[in-house]
Amino acid sequence: MIPLRDYRPSGAVPYVTLLLIIANGLVFLYQQLLGSQFVPSPLGRISQADLFILQYGLIPRELVHMRDLPPLIPIPIWATLFTSMFLHGGIAHIGGNMLYLWIFGDNVEGAMGHLKFLVFYLICGAIAALAQVAVSANSTTPIIGASGAIAGVLGAYLMLFPYSRILTLVFFFFFIRLIQLPAMLILGLWFIYQLILAPTGLGPGGGVAFFAHIGGFVSGALLVYLFKKSHVEVQLFRRRYY
């Protein structure tokens, strides 16, 4: 299932959501401009793009031991909790992340306000990264991507608007349909998917940081109570459709 849009108006221009999408896009463009030209490094000859990811991605072993491994970077190690959120490994990686942020971010931003939403997004992203570090403390594979922070947005959306209708592309072999489904179903299944496949994302070879997704989603679902505007209702039991 691929969500395409929701039908709930955000009530305000989602400036922060738009700026986050633009920022991610610009960083990804910069990564592509670095190209695959090989450069010398303490690890041998690697591409400029890979060197950039090694420097500004979050490397669990570095954070756990608070020791910068080569290649060194000019920022504190803890800062990679945040710089890593703006790095992506390919067009499908950033495309999927930005699609989810665009669909669900505007409503959560509207429910929190611009500044609170930005702080919420960064906190969820940091918690998500720490959740992945907790299960791969000695890994030297960089953790990159906005998906942990966006998972926090998904968790908040689920708590705030569980019955909002989401236009979803559903396909199963030859069955392909556009169907309006409640957010509770879409996001609930997404979270279950992360739980089921979480063990497969671990290992020295890298992969999908499922525990970051889980940590981000849970933190977003809990922190929404602190960040939402006082008049915004958390719809836990009341059945409403939008």
Which residues carry out catalysis? 147, 213
Query: CB-based contacts of 17: which residues, under 8 Å, 6+ apart?
Result: 101, 102, 105, 106, 109, 117
Q: Cα–Cα distance between 217 and 12 in angstroms, integer?
A: 24
Over its C-alpha atoms, the chain yields an Rg (Å, rounded) of 18
- According to DSSP, residue 232 is labeled -
Q: How far from the centroid of its chain's Cα atoms is residue 150's Cα?
A: 3
Q: Which residues pair with 172 in a beta bridge?
A: 175
Please classify residue 203 by burial: count the beta carbons closer than 10 Å to its beta carbon, then call 0-12 exposed, 13-18 middle and 19+ buried: exposed
Angle made by CA atoms 216, 220, 226, in degrees to the nearest 5: 145
Residue type, 145: G
Buried b or exposed e, range 163-194, using 16+ CB within 10 angstroms: ebbbebeeeeeeeeeeeebbbeebbeebbeeb
Whether a cis peptide bond, with omega within 30° of 0, leads into 3 is: no
